[in-house]
C-alpha cells in the first residue's frame, strides 16, 4: 500500500503551544495506516518537544545568506524546501502540506502543490497591528491580506477566523480546532517530579507581552491570598524584569510567587495545582487551557481574543473575567473559595480524534474546504 505523505512545516520545535499542537496532530495522523507523517523545521533551534520515533523530523536551516552576505529571498527558501522534499521525502507531490505560522506561509506562498493549507494559530490583529496606526496599520493589513488572499487558510478558532474576515477581508477560511491527546497528557502528568509542598495556582507560558504575567502577579498580590502560592512556569525573557520589580515592592508576598523557568514537562505541575489561571491579552486557541481542563483542574481565564470563550462555552462563562487587574483579582479570590465552580468538561471538538478526523478529510478529499 502506497502511503499518503503528510508534511507539517514549522519554524521550529523549540517549545510552546503551537509546537505542542503540531506534535500531537502529527502523532495522531500517523496512526492512520495509510499515512506517512513528516515535520520540517526551518530554523536552527534545538527541538525540545518530545515526539515518538515514528514521526520523521527534518531539520533544515533556511536562514542563509548569499555571496553578498544578504539574506536569501523567501522564494529561494521555498525552492530549498521543495528540493529537500523531492530528494528526501517523496518524488511526487505530497498528499497534504500544512504550513504553520506566518513565517512559513511567507515562504510557502510560492508553492504550487495542489493540497496546501496555511494554519493561522493566533489573532493577527493583536499580533501584528497592536502598535500600528494610520498608514502603518493600513499597510500591514494590506500586506497580510495579500499574503493569505489566494491561499487555503485553516483557523484554530472561530475568533481567529472572524478576525481574518473582519480585519483583513479574507474569505478563504475554515475552522479546525486545535486539540489535545488525553492519553499522552495523562501519561506526562503522572511522571514523578519534585513539586512545591504548599498549595499553588499555576500559569504556564513563555513570558511575553501577550501573556500578561505581570497582570496576574498584581492581581494575585492584591487578592491577599496567603494559603495558596502562585507558580509562573515558562521561559524567562526581558519581561521578567517587570515582575521582579513588582515583587521587590512586596517582599513578604514575593516569597509566595515562584518563577521556576521553562519546564519540558509542565503537566505534573498543572495536575497538582489548585487551579490554572490564564491572564492573556489575546490568544489564538490556548492549548494549555484545554490541557488544564482535561486534567480536571479548576480553570479561569481573562475573556481575551480569542479562544477562552469558545473553550468554556456559554454554560461556563463564570470561568471568564475582564482583562483588568481588578477583574482577575476577584476571579482568583472566587476560585480559591469555590474551586468546584470552575471544573469544566472537555468538549468533543477539542479531542485528538476529532481534530485528526478533520485533517484526514483534507487528505482523502483534497477539494474539501
Query: According to the model, what pLDDT value does residue 145 have?
Result: 97
Residues 187, 334 share a domain: yes
Residue 131 has pLDDT above 90, yes or no: no
Mean pLDDT of the chain, nearest integer:
93
- What SS3 class is residue 30? coil
- What SS3 class is residue 210? coil
CA pair distance 86, 349, nearest whole angstrom? 35
Any idea what the CATH number is for the domain that residue 162 is in?
Answer: 3.40.50.2000
- Using 50, 70 and 90 to split pLDDT, how confident is the model at 367? low
Residues 72, 45 share a domain: yes
| CA dihedral sign, ordered 11, 17, 19, 24 | negative
- Examine residue 369 and state whether it is found in any structural domain, yes or no: no
The grid coordinates listed for 241 are 524584569
Neighbouring C-beta atoms of residue 146, cutoff 10 Å? 11
- Examine residue 288 and state whether it is found in any structural domain, yes or no: yes
Whole-angstrom CA distances from 182 to 272, 283, 348, 353 are: 16, 22, 12, 10
Q: Per-residue pLDDT tens for 306-331?
A: 899 999 999 999 999 999 999 999 99
CA pair distance 7, 283, nearest whole angstrom? 25
CA pair distance 43, 112, nearest whole angstrom? 23
Which residues does 344 contact at the CB level (< 8 Å), separation at least 6? 293, 299, 311, 312, 316, 319
Burial of 280 (0-12, 13-18, 19+ CB in 10 A): buried
Residues 161, 118 share a domain: yes
Percent of the chain past pLDDT 90, that is, above it, reads 78
Residue 272 has pLDDT above 60, yes or no: yes
Give residue 188's region: left, alpha or beta (phi > 0; psi -120 to 50). alpha
Domain extent at residue 359: 4-180+350-364
Residues 291, 165 share a domain: no
Residues 327, 195 share a domain: yes
Residues 224, 132 share a domain: no
The DSSP secondary-structure symbol of 314 reads G
Total structural domains within the chain: 2
Backbone angles phi, psi at 300, to 5 degrees: -135, 160
Query: According to the model, what pLDDT value does residue 250 have?
Result: 87
Residues 267, 206 share a domain: yes
Evaluate whether 233 touches 269 at the Cβ level (below 8 Å).
yes
- Examine residue 85 and state whether it is found in any structural domain, yes or no: yes
| CA dihedral sign, ordered 244, 249, 254, 255 | positive
Residues 331, 309 share a domain: yes
- Examine residue 126 and state whether it is found in any structural domain, yes or no: yes
Residues 147, 202 share a domain: no
Q: Where are the extended beta strands (E) located within 179-287?
A: 200-204, 229-233, 257-261, 275-278
Residues 124, 35 share a domain: yes
Which residues does 99 contact at the CB level (< 8 Å), separation at least 6? 9, 105, 108, 116, 117, 118, 119
Q: Per-residue pLDDT tens for 143-161?
A: 999 999 999 999 999 999 9
Evaluate whether 339 touches 228 at the Cβ level (below 8 Å).
no
Query: According to the model, what pLDDT value does residue 369 have?
Result: 44
Place of cell 505542542: 20
- Examine residue 152 and state whether it is found in any structural domain, yes or no: yes
Residues 265, 241 share a domain: yes
Q: Per-residue pLDDT tens for 156-197?
A: 999 999 999 999 999 999 999 999 889 889 999 999 999 999
- Using 50, 70 and 90 to split pLDDT, how confident is the model at 130? confident
Residue 253 has pLDDT above 80, yes or no: yes
Q: Per-residue pLDDT tens for 27-68?
A: 999 999 999 999 999 998 877 777 878 899 999 999 888 777
Amino acid at each position: 500500500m502506497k502511503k499518503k505523505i503528510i508534511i507539517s512545516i514549522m519554524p521550529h520545535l523549540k517549545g510552546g503551544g503551537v509546537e505542542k499542537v503540531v506534535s500531537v496532530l502529527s502523532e495522531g495522523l500517523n496512526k492512520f495506516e495509510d499515512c506517512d507523517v513528516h515535520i520540517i523545521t526551518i530554523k536552527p533551534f534545538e527541538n525540545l518537544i518530545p515526539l515518538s520515533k515514528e514521526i520523521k523530523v527534518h531539520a533544515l536551516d533556511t536562514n542563509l545568506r548569499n555571496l553578498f552576505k544578504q539574506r536569501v529571498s523567501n522564494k529561494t527558501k521555498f525552492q530549498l524546501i521543495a528540493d529537500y522534499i523531492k530528494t528526501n521525502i517523496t518524488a511526487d507531490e505530497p498528499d497534504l502540506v500544512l504550513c504553520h505560522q506566518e513565517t512559513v506561509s511567507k515562504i510557502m506562498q510560492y508553492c504550487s502543490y495542489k493540497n496546501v493549507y496555511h494554519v493561522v494559530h493566533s489573532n493577527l490583529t493583536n499580533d501584528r497591528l497592536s502598535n500600528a496606526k494610520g498608514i502603518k496599520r493600513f499597510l500591514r493589513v494590506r500586506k497580510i491580506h495579500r499574503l493569505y488572499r489566494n491561499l487555503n487558510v485553516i483557523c484554530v478558532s472561530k475568533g481567529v477566523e472572524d478576525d481574518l474576515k473582519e480585519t483583513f477581508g479574507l474569505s478563504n477560511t475554515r475552522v479546525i480546532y486545535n486539540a489535545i491527546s488525553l492519553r499522552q497528557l495523562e501519561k506526562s502528568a503522572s511522571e514523578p517530579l519534585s513539586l512545591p509542598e504548599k498549595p499553588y495556582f499555576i500559569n504556564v507560558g513563555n513570558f511575553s507581552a501577550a501573556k500578561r504575567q505581570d497582570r496576574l502577579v498584581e492581581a494575585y498580590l492584591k487578592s491577599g491570598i496567603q494559603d495558596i502560592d502562585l507558580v509562573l512556569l515558562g521561559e524567562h525573557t526581558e519581561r521578567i524584569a517587570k515582575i521582579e520589580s513588582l515583587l521587590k515592592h512586596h517582599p513578604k508576598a514575593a516569597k509566595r510567587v515562584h518563577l521556576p523557568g521553562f519546564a519540558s514537562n509542565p503537566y505534573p505541575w498543572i495536575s497538582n495545582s489548585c487551579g490554572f489561571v490564564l491572564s492573556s491579552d489575546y490568544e489564538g486557541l490556548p492549548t494549555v487551557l484545554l490541557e488544564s481542563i482535561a486534567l480536571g483542574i479548576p480553570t479561569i481565564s481573562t475573556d481575551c481574543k480569542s479562544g477562552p470563550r469558545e473553550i468554556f462555552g456559554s454554560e461556563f462563562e463564570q470561568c471568564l473575567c475582564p482583562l483588568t487587574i481588578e477583574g482577575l483579582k476577584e476571579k482568583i479570590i472566587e476560585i480559591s473559595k469555590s474551586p468546584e465552580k470552575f471544573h469544566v468538561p472537555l468538549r468533543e471538538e477539542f479531542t485528538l480524534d476529532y481534530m485528526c478526523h478533520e485533517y484526514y478529510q483534507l487528505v482523502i478529499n483534497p477539494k474539501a474546504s
